Amino acid sequence: MTGQPLPFSPPAGPPAVVVTDLTVDRGQVRALDSVSLAVPRGEITVLLGPNGSGKSTLMQAILGLVAPSAGTVRVLDAPVRRALRTGRVAAVPQSDDVDARFPVTAAEVVMQGRRRFTGPWRRPSSADRLAVADALDRVGLSAIAGRRIGELSGGQRRRVLLARCLAQEADLLLLDEPFNGMDAGSELVYIDVLRELAASGRTALISTHHLGTVEQLADSIALINGRLVAHGPVAEMTTPQILSTLLGARLSEPAARAATTLGVLS
Residue 206 in any domain: the answer is yes
CATH number of the domain residue 20 falls in? 3.40.50.300
Residue 167 in any domain: the answer is no
pLDDT number for residue 77: 93
**Amino acid sitting at position 173:** L
Residue 135 in any domain: the answer is no
Residue 262 in any domain: the answer is yes
CB atoms within 10 A of CB 43: 18
Residue 25 in any domain: the answer is yes
Chunked into runs of 10 residues, the chain (266 residues) has average pLDDT values of 44 82 94 96 93 92 95 95 93 74 88 85 88 96 92 89 94 92 86 94 91 88 92 87 63 43 37
Residue 266 in any domain: the answer is yes
d(CA 171, CA 77) in angstroms, rounded, equals 12
- Residue 92's φ and ψ, nearest 5 degrees, are -120, 110
State the residue range of the domain holding 21.
15-88+174-182+201-266
pLDDT number for residue 122: 79
Number of domains in the chain: 1
Q: Are strands 17-26 and 70-75 parallel, antiparallel or unpaired?
A: antiparallel
Beta carbons within 8 Å of 5's beta carbon, 6+ residues apart: 196, 199, 200
pLDDT number for residue 94: 80
Residue 255 in any domain: the answer is yes
CA dihedral 191→117→60→214, nearest 10 degrees, is: 10
